[in-house]
Structure 1
Amino acid sequence: MSSESATKAGPLAGIKVLELGTLIAGPFCSRMLAEFGAEVIKIEAPDGGDPLRHWRVLKDGTSLWWSVQARNKKSITLNMKTPEAQKIARQLALDADIIIENYRPGVLEKWKLGYASLRAENPATIMVRLSGYGQTGPMRDLPGFGAIGESMGGLRYVSGHPDRPPVRVGISIGDSVAALHGVIGAMMALRHRDVSGGRWNGKSGEDCVAGQGQMVDVALYESVFNLMESLVPEFDFAGVVRERTGGALPGIVPSNTYTTSDQENIVIAGNGDAIFHRLMLAIKRQDLADDIQLQRNDGRVPRTAEIDAAIQAWCDTQTIDSALAALREADVPVGKIYSVRDMMSDAQFQARDMFEQHEFADGTPVKLPAISPKLSETPGETKWLGPELGAHTDEVLSQLGYDATQIEELKKRQII
């Protein structure tokens, strides 16, 4: 493949991925691989498919979320309760570079698709397994959703105001963080496979030293836990339990959310020593700018309430636009808290091409979020929106060697 064609195809062109999963964590993981050129085949149940197809805001009975979560994927239907479907899934798994699944531990083993079984036949098998609690431990068999992972992993405990119960982040952050860990793990496993021998070539009969595959075991709660900064050493060494602090960043002062006179929320991060000095001058508090005790963060922490009150008093006299202008002029990190309406009209989002214009099958226009991260030479691409249920079943089975008569028979028997 030429470098030009590789660039157009994406950095993961030639990589085959089998997705065995529903809803968020597993499908988001494979979505990112599909966005950068991998061929992703998603297995769905014939009777309705992935439940996410019917979540939140719908168009003609299908979720708008689906158009993003399943973009660039091929959808095939298999009734995995049948041995025939399990056999087809095994063929696809053995031909895949990466298998991504987010069922409860033990389900794939029941279908004869467990990692040990596949690896015995294909030593280069890479399997990303996303679950609530991982593949081992006393809780492995319990159902685990993102919300539980956020709770057990520590995120919920520190989210919200100190005088109120913990709150959730407004998205399924636990699932999404686990998915990103799955992508990272898959890429590291792929790199190891390639440097340890090469791609498995069992079908061709050619001599090929199989690279070493491996299992990537992603637990939702551990993925959240991995984000929790200094939580563990602070408790172990100093007995400190980080608590909820609302919009403030505890121990790093000032960094908080404030309200302007037009009732907009603004985040001001003046916690660098030089930045703090510029911030105090910008809000006309020369006295605080010159205060010796406040020159360093450890001196500012005991006076957090005083500093926050001074900043809020200034914000009370400013509109969101005047506050942003004054603080940007002073080179202080500041930002309005955006709604999606703000994002869609923002010059920075527009300049960075963060929205893509597409059409549904009936010609109705729709915008999708653009693909991140931005690669200079091999950027991601949306080739098609989330497909209809089973849209690629015939194509994929034909590639496995099934003829039209066999495919029709599978349909009659409700196997596909």
Structure 2
Amino acid sequence: MSAGALDGIRVLEIGTLIAGPFAGRLLGDQGADVIKVEAPDRPDPLRTWGQAHEDGRGFFWTVHARNKRCITLDLRSERGQELFLELAAGADVVVESFRPGTLERWGLGYDRLSAANPGLVLARVSGYGQTGPLAAQPGYASVAEARAGLRFVTGFPGQAPVRMALSIGDSLAGMFACQGILTALVARARTGQGQVVDAALTDSCLAVTESMVPDYSRAGLVRQPSGTRLDAIAPSNSYETADGTFVIIAANQDTLFRRLCAAMDRPELADDVRYATHTARARHQDELDGLIGAWAKDLPPDDVVARCSAAGVVVGPVATVADVVTDEQFLARDMLVPHHDLGVDADVLGPGVTPQLSATPGAVKWAGPPSPGSHNAEVYGELLGLADDDLAALAAEGVV
């Protein structure tokens, strides 16, 4: 098995919950040596998160801590800060997800870290970023999604905004942090200097709002929630089928719409002035959705998908996770892989590694270690030369 594209890159991950650990997970997936640092008396809450539990253990941790070595260290103590600086001196990246100013209060700001290691990249993931009037406030994904305008356009017109049953803002911030880290490492290869990567949940949510800002800037248009479709992009919607399940049909390009008309045995619709162009379909979106909806409602979902696929129309079922885990496409691409979770001593299915690299593919090597400090002896011995007696003394002092 390939060592991974980031083999030889060492990452120290400090902080808890989702966005920062997600960035660390992405780096670990591609071969980086990610060392997760937890406080001796305050484990990462993700260890118990997840909607399903077994023997008191949730499964959020299984995936987000995979491929990481876990140590304990009290960064609030002077001795703990000294040990962290020693670790940082040999690291490439530090990922932190505390409220801005926390590292500085501990004497671990970038000035001190970079003095110990001028090439160090410090990725800082927070609610609002390191600057601006709200920087010091705590921030969660739900509020970030709302502040950036993502929540407002969810749901149906006239109803309260809704959320996906996932922390999208955290995932976005983790991905942008990872992108920033890789960019900073490329820059370091040229200059030899590290830098700070400042990833905010709010910024990350704003970055994916497509044309919302320019549409408002030039036309005063405030995008509204549109339910299951995107207004003025037609047809692109979810349509109920004969058994009550839904499929997505996206045929908003002129060529794709013509193919859909053929699949529906309604070729004349492609030349109807109400539907022949993208602009015309936008004006008659409700009527068009009614026509397609009536057609889909008479057919089983497999028939709708088969007819559209044969015609070259973009189509797919609205899957539950029960459908996802048997999906032939995900299985063929190794996107559903077992994680051996030592906490329950069983294989737990989880998502595979993405993106997939042809020459140096990433891999899931192990699930999140079951207990804080699982790798204390290994990491402190390997990197700092501490013996068992040294670690025992540090543990007695509450440092590790």
Classify the TM-score, shorter chain: over 0.9
Residues 22-49 of structure 1, C-alpha deviation per residue, up to 9 Å, x if partnerless? 1100000011111111111111011241
Return the offset for 1:213. 0.9
Residues 155-179 of structure 1, C-alpha deviation per residue, up to 9 Å, x if partnerless? 1011111121111122110000000
Aligned pairs for 1:14-93 (under 5 A) are 14-56=8-50, 57-93=52-88
User: Which one of 376, 379, 394 corresponds to residue 361 of structure 2?
Assistant: 379
Q: Residue 257 of structure 1: SS of its match in structure 2? A: strand
Give the AA of the match of 2:11.
V
Q: Residue 275 of structure 2: SS of its match in structure 1? A: helix
Structure 2 residue 315 is the aligned partner of structure 1 residue 320: no
Counterpart position of 2:319: 338
- CA 1:394 to 1:179, structure 2 compared with 1: closer, same or farther past 3 Å? same
Q: Residue 229 of structure 1: SS of its match in structure 2? A: coil
Residues 119-170 of structure 1, C-alpha deviation per residue, up to 9 Å, x if partnerless? 2332212100000001011100001011111111111011111121111122
Structure 2 residue 237 is the aligned partner of structure 1 residue 242: no
Q: Normalising by the residue count of structure 2, what TM-score does the alignment of the two structures yield?
A: 0.96
Q: Residue 212 of structure 1: SS of its match in structure 2? A: coil
Q: Distance in 1 between matches of 2:193 and 2:313?
A: 50
Structure 2 residue 362 is the aligned partner of structure 1 residue 392: no
Return the offset for 1:412. 1.2
User: Which one of 360, 375, 385 corresponds to residue 401 of structure 1?
Assistant: 385
Give the AA of the match of 1:8.
S
State the superposition RMSD in angstroms: 1.4
Aligned residues, how many?
396
Counterpart position of 1:4: none
Residues 366-397 of structure 1, C-alpha deviation per residue, up to 9 Å, x if partnerless? 22211111111111111211012100112222
Say whether the 8 Å CA contact 2:239–2:297 is kept in structure 1: no
Moved more, 139-148 or 88-97: 88-97
Counterpart position of 1:290: 271
Counterpart position of 1:351: 332
Q: Residue 43 of structure 2: SS of its match in structure 1? A: coil
Return the offset for 1:293. 4.2
Say whether the 8 Å CA contact 2:88–2:116 is kept in structure 1: no
Give the AA of the match of 2:107.
K
Q: Which runs of 5+ in 1 are unaligned?
A: 1-6, 197-210
Return the offset for 1:60. 3.0
Q: Distance in 1 between matches of 2:135 and 2:276?
A: 50
Give the AA of the match of 1:69.
H
Aligned pairs for 1:156-195 (under 5 A) are 156-195=151-190
Moved more, 49-58 or 348-357: 348-357
Say whether the 8 Å CA contact 2:11–2:24 is kept in structure 1: yes
Say whether the 8 Å CA contact 2:269–2:276 is kept in structure 1: no
- CA 1:26 to 1:407, structure 2 compared with 1: closer, same or farther past 3 Å? same
Return the offset for 1:50. 0.3
Return the offset for 1:285. 2.6
Q: Distance in 1 between matches of 2:16 and 2:36?
A: 9
User: Which one of 129, 132, 140 corresponds to residue 145 of structure 1?
Assistant: 140
Return the offset for 1:351. 1.6
Counterpart position of 2:126: 131
Return the offset for 1:282. 1.9
Counterpart position of 1:104: 99
Q: Distance in 1 between matches of 2:130 and 2:239?
A: 44
Moved more, 320-329 or 291-300: 291-300
Q: Distance in 2 between matches of 1:101 and 1:321?
A: 46
Q: Distance in 2 between matches of 1:117 and 1:81?
A: 15
Structure 2 residue 90 is the aligned partner of structure 1 residue 95: yes
Counterpart position of 1:206: none
Return the offset for 1:363. 4.2
Return the offset for 1:8. 1.9
Counterpart position of 2:196: 215
Q: Normalising by the residue count of structure 1, what TM-score does the alignment of the two structures yield?
A: 0.92
Same amino acid, percent of matched pairs = 44
